[in-house]
Amino acid sequence: MRGRLLLVEDDPALTDLLTWHFQREDFDVEHTPDGDEALLLAIETPPDIILLDWMIEGLSGLEVCRRLRRAPETANVPIIMLTGRGEEADRVRGLETGADDYVTKPFSPRELVARVWAVLRRVRPALAGEQLRFADLEMDLIAHKVKRGGKTIPLGPTEFRLLRHFLEHPGRVFSRERLLDAVWGRDREIEIRTVDVHIRRVRQAINFNGRPELIRTVRSAGYALDTDAA
């Protein structure tokens, strides 16, 4: 399974067509024709991407999009809007409301699939099987390998996930709390300062012979990849 996709669409024929295409891409497809239910589902267990029709039962697609963006659980989940409304003004409105892409019916399923991958490459590079890069560091998610300047670096599983999280959001500061959530899991029972220790271990591993520090400490806020080092 490559990821979970939530399809919000009330045309049964289109639903079947898209479900088939995305299942073939190894997505776990969840479906609802209803705007309100879409919100509940998405917030309950956030999918990796949402396909959202504009004209649906219950809330309009645009309103669903707006609320998804406002809810912290789904604020970062990518959304692609599907719609018959081809007016420029509608498209601009959809994109400005927080949609990542806006596709006008009729569209080709293959193109939609390609657009989904294009968005996921950005948001969840891990799903798209991409290499992550930052400065002279590269992480191969498939081979589970990290290199800096060509030299392979041994990392433990936790260190790997921690570094990966940073690479997926370069420059962004994460508090220790958020790192525990993201790297250890939401239901951890772990001492907050443990994060420090793992940060140190990652640093030690990637800063062999005098390479510049990549992880910046932001006092009283957390840690981040240092975009100045890139």
Q: By the 8 A CB rule, do 134 and 230 touch?
A: yes
Tell me if 173 contacts a copy of itself by CB under 8 A: yes
In one-letter notation, the amino acid at residue 193 is: R
Residues 150-169 that bind DNA (CB under 7 A): 154, 156-159
- Among the listed residues 192, 191, 215, 69, the one whose alpha carbon sits nearest the alpha carbon of residue 134: 215
Q: Interface mask (CB under 8 A) for a copy of itself, residues 42-81, using x and -?
A: ------------------------------x--xx-x---
Q: Which is nearer to a copy of itself, 12 or 86 (CB)?
A: 86
By CB atoms closer than 10 A (0-12, 13-18, 19+), residue 221 is: exposed
Least gap, CB of 33 to a copy of itself (angstroms):
26
Which of DNA, a copy of itself, none lies near 197, with the C-beta cut-off 5 to 8 A by kind? DNA
Tell me if 209 contacts a copy of itself by CB under 8 A: no
- From CA 95, how far away is CA 30, in angstroms rounded? 23
Say how many C-beta atoms besides its own lie within 10 A of residue 77's C-beta. 20
Give residues in contact with DNA (CB under 7 A): 154, 156-159, 184, 189-191, 193-194, 196-201, 203, 217-222
